Amino acid sequence: MYDLDKIRADFPILSREVNGKPLTYLDNGASAQKPQVVIDAITKAYAEEYSNVHRGLHFLSNLATEKYEAVRGIIARFLNAGDENTIVLNSGTTEGINLVAYGWAMPRFEAGDEIVLSVMEHHANIVPWHFLRERQGVVLKWVDTEADGSLDPQKVIDAIGPKTKLVAVTQCSNVLGTVVDVKAITHGAHSKGVPVLVDGSQGAVHMPVDVQDIGCDFYAITGHKLYGPSGSGAIYIKPERMAEMRPFIGGGDMIKEVSKEGIIYNDPPMKFEAGTPGIVQTIGLGVALEYMMELGMDNIAKHEGGLRDYAMQRLTGLNWINVQGQAPGKAAIFSFTMEGAAHAHDISTILDKKGVAVRAGHHCAGPLMDHLGVSATCRASFGLYNTKEEVDTLVDALELAHELFA
């Protein structure tokens, strides 16, 4: 049973007021709130258990190392990766994708080689590839979304040519909420001998993920969207891809031996984890993922699906609101504009006065904004603790904004 009242009670910030109104937090797509168990785990790790990992033989170092390394297994279970050694711990999706860009793609790609992207990628899955375009002459090939915001997997597959070396695609758009059939894309790309990177920053939040079933070569997640701390995350890397990679950052932990003459790298995944990591952040991420798995990813998806359907019904009932992207089966993420002169930032400001937190801007998705022909949108993004009553609060606040700007 999905006990929403109990779940909401697990998140202390949801009981506060903003501008004299109960907080309605609908900015989960940017960063989700943290349950008390995560907050407690972080506090305990700093107050009672803190030490550096992998470096000491004393009690606290061993304890911190044990808790930190256990998270690798938790993430592997969360993604059904099978082998925890396919999980590289890092600060989040941005670092994970840069690891692939610098450690795997840069030494392998030449001028004229291609990377296929969808137009709705987040900048984290665009900018590292632009670095390769600028520095090595790599060509970026873009696949547009359909009129409803969906992405046709076959069009992505058809964009793969003889010079394509990688397909990099999101599983769920942070702007449109579009859920992408990354399994079909991976199957088609692999049939042409092309690896696939999946940005799972949003996908892993809203639905069960099975990287073995998807078959992708790389799958990146970020902790702060998964109800865990910022500065935490991981990337799943297939063993055969990992064997092809060179380290991205050099320093302690990622080496076995260092001499004046040379170095011997540590075994993967440690080979790709340099320096003192985000120890406490990673421990907190493990607790957050266990919290989600205890609720059940299928249960979370079902709850958010109900919110999506109700929010779509309420928002489309406002004929002066233009919802960007209405793909079937989308996540509970709604980006919209308002008819008239109201800018997204103005709308967001009015909503904030009513205690409603939404995001306004381009959402780190410049190519998608250009494709949609808008400079900015408001985005209401729902999470596992949101309610239908909060949808109503959003609509009431939007009606006030419309009155003010009409």
**Backbone φ and ψ of 188, nearest 5°:** -70, -40
Q: Final residue of a domain: which of 237, 271, 294? A: 294
Residues spanned by the domain of 376: 4-28+296-405
- Specify whether 159 is located in the same domain as 13: no
378 is known as an active-site residue = no
**Tokens 């042409």 appear where?**
192
Domain check: are 138 and 196 in the same one? Answer: yes
Verify that 283 and 326 share a domain, yes or no: no
The yes-or-no verdict on residue 316 having pLDDT over 80 is yes
Q: What is the mean pLDDT of residues 214-240?
A: 98
And the tokens for 404? 């003010």
CB neighbour list of residue 96: distance below 8 Å, 6 or more residues apart: 88, 90, 218, 220, 221, 233, 234, 235
pLDDT for residue 162: 98
Cα–Cα separations (whole angstroms), residue 301 to 204, 209, 231: 10, 11, 25
Q: Is 342 in the same domain as 222?
A: no
Residues 146 and 251 in one domain: yes
Work out how many domains the chain is built from and give that number. 2
pLDDT at 342 (0 to 100): 83
Residue 203's pLDDT is 98
Amino acid 340: pLDDT: 80
Residue 228, domain CATH: 3.40.640.10
Q: pLDDT-based confidence at 334, cuts 50/70/90?
A: very high
Instruction: Look at residue 405 and tell me whether its pLDDT is greater than 90.
Output: no
Q: What is the pLDDT of residues 26-37, one digit of tens each?
A: 999 999 999 999
pLDDT in tens, 24-81: 999 999 999 999 999 999 999 999 999 999 978 899 999 999 999 999 999 999 999 9
pLDDT of residue 1: 84
- Indicate which CATH number applies to the domain containing 339: 3.90.1150.10
For 154, half-sphere exposure in the C-beta direction (CA atoms, 13 angstrom radius) is 0
The whole-model pTM stands at 0.98
Average pLDDT, the chain: 97
Give the chain's length. Answer: 406
In a domain, 34, yes or no: no
- Asked if residue 362 and residue 289 are part of one domain, the reply reads no
- Tens of pLDDT, residue by residue over 146-193, are 999 999 999 999 999 999 999 999 999 999 999 999 999 999 999 999
HEC string for 234-300? EEEECHHHHCCCCCCCCCCCCEEEECCCCEEECCCCHHHCCCCCCHHHHHHHHHHHHHHHHHCHHHH
- The stretch 84-92 carries a mean pLDDT of 98
The answer to whether residue 341 scores a pLDDT higher than 80 is: no
- C-alpha pair distances (Å), 345 with each of 74, 98, 110, 331, 368: 39, 31, 42, 23, 18
Q: What is d(CA 133, CA 96) in angstroms, rounded to the nearest whole number?
A: 19
Nearest CA to 89 out of 105, 104, 102, 76 is that of: 76
Mean pLDDT value of segment 270-296: 98
Catalytic residue among 172, 216, 364, 378: 364
